[in-house]
């Protein structure tokens, strides 16, 4: 198959996928973004938002992506609205997991009022580690922060938060203040069935997918435009989704000849 035919097929397939109906059986919804270099309005890294869902019977689904011009909350809201319009009404949705979930709270409350919001605790800890870079008490502060999520109930976690604030707020006021902002959103999992705790505390399912994206796109460098980025992302997502349905933990490779043609087509 020629490159031009692959491009035409991919463009059509991307449009169909991004507008296809979503079966309303999603129990957990993960939201996060990956930065890509796209040559529009100047070459710069721009966020592409992704949504991944886990169905009531445990299947993983990549629901779509959204090329954003910035990290503005309006971009996230527009993406969530598009998911709702495609059929994700939230009849089975129990929790939405996101990095910095506070920014999307209003949109989630409007579209899926019965769903809980869980902020990714891994991202919360990562931000604290970065904020404490070079601080002599960094290791002790990080150790105490981790203990918050060792609690077996929300009441106990809140007591640990109060203790952490009292003990460390003078050591690094700004880092502690930022760490504790919206920290209650990282405790949502404690109010959910214990069987769900491990899969909703963090955005790990999406992070694993993002690692595969970065492995594939790093050799490309910068995309000519959003259409070229969409073609590659669709190809990666299709293979990853196929792999998940087969229950294989290792991502299957696209046939080398096919992926080489898709790679060349991004220009």
* pLDDT tens digit sequence for 82-136: 999 999 999 999 999 988 666 678 888 889 999 999 999 999 999 999 999 999 9
Beta bridge partners of 64: 51
Residue 259: pLDDT above 70? no
Q: Checking phi first, is residue 42 left (phi over 0); if not, alpha (psi -120 to 50) or beta? A: left
Instruction: Give 264's pLDDT tier (boundaries 50, 70, 90).
Output: very low
Instruction: Give 64's pLDDT tier (boundaries 50, 70, 90).
Output: very high
Which range scores top for mean pLDDT: 22-26, 101-105, 210-214?
Answer: 22-26
Integer-rounded Cα radius of gyration of the chain: 20
Find the Cα–Cα–Cα–Cα dihedral 38, 71, 48, 128, rounded to 10°.
110
| pLDDT value of residue 102 | 62
Long-range contacts of 76-81 (CB under 8 A, 24+ apart): 76/31, 76/49, 76/103, 76/104, 76/107, 77/104, 77/106, 77/107, 79/31, 79/49, 79/51, 80/31, 80/104, 80/107, 80/108, 80/111, 81/107, 81/111
CB within 8 A of 258, min separation 6: which ones? 6
| pLDDT value of residue 6 | 78
Which segment of 43-52, 114-123, 169-178, 192-201 scores lowest on mean pLDDT?
A: 43-52
Count other C-beta atoms under 10 Å from residue 107's C-beta. Answer: 19
Write out the two tokens for 105.
């709270």
| pLDDT value of residue 72 | 75
Q: Name the pTM for this structure.
A: 0.86
Instruction: Give 267's pLDDT tier (boundaries 50, 70, 90).
Output: very low
Sheet holding 116-119, edge to edge: 60-67, 43-55, 26-39, 95-98, 116-119
Which segment of 4-13, 126-135, 243-252 scores lowest on mean pLDDT?
A: 243-252
Residue 259's Cβ-count burial label (10 Å; 0-12, 13-18, 19+) is: middle
CB within 8 A of 74, min separation 6: which ones? none
What is the pLDDT averaged over residues 238-246?
80
CB within 8 A of 40, min separation 6: which ones? 46, 225, 226
Q: Express as a percent the part of the chain with pLDDT over 70.
A: 89
| pLDDT value of residue 169 | 95
What is the pLDDT averaged over residues 233-259?
65
Which range scores top for mean pLDDT: 41-50, 72-81, 141-150?
Answer: 141-150
What average pLDDT does the chain have? 87
111, 81 Cβ separation under 8 angstroms:
yes
Q: What is the DSSP letter of 149?
A: G
Write out the two tokens for 112.
């899926």
Greater model confidence, 5 or 206: 206
Residue 263: pLDDT above 70? no
């Amino acid at each position: 198959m020629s490159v031009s035919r692959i491009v035409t097929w991919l463009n059509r397939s991307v449009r169909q996928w991004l507008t296809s109906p979503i079966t309303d059986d999603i129990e957990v919804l993960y939201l996060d973004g990956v930065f890509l270099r796209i040559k529009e309005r100047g070459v710069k890294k721009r966020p592409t938002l992704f949504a991944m869902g886990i169905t009531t019977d445990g299947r993983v689904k990549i629901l779509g992506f959204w090329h954003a011009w910035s990290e503005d909350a309006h971009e996230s809201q527009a993406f969530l609205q598009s998911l709702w319009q495609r059929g994700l009404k939230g009849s089975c949705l129990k929790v939405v997991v996101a990095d910095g979930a506070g920014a999307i709270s209003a949109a989630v409350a409007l579209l899926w009022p019965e769903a809980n919001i869980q902020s990714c605790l891994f991202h919360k800890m990562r931000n604290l580690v970065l904020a404490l870079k070079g601080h002599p008490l960094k290791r002790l502060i990080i150790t105490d922060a981790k203990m918050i999520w060792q609690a077996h109930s929300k009441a106990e976690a809140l007591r640990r938060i109060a203790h952490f604030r009292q003990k460390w707020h003078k050591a690094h006021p700004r880092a502690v203040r930022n760490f504790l902002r919206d920290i209650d959103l990282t405790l949502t999992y404690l109010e959910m069935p214990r069987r769900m705790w491990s899969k909703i505390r963090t955005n790990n399912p999406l992070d694993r997918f993002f690692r595969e994206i970065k492995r594939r796109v790093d050799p490309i460098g910068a995309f000519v435009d959003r259409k070229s980025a969409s073609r590659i992302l669709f190809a990666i997502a299709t293979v990853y989704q196929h792999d998940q349905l087969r229950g294989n933990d290792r991502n299957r490779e696209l046939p080398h000849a096919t992926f080489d043609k898709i790679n060349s087509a991004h220009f």
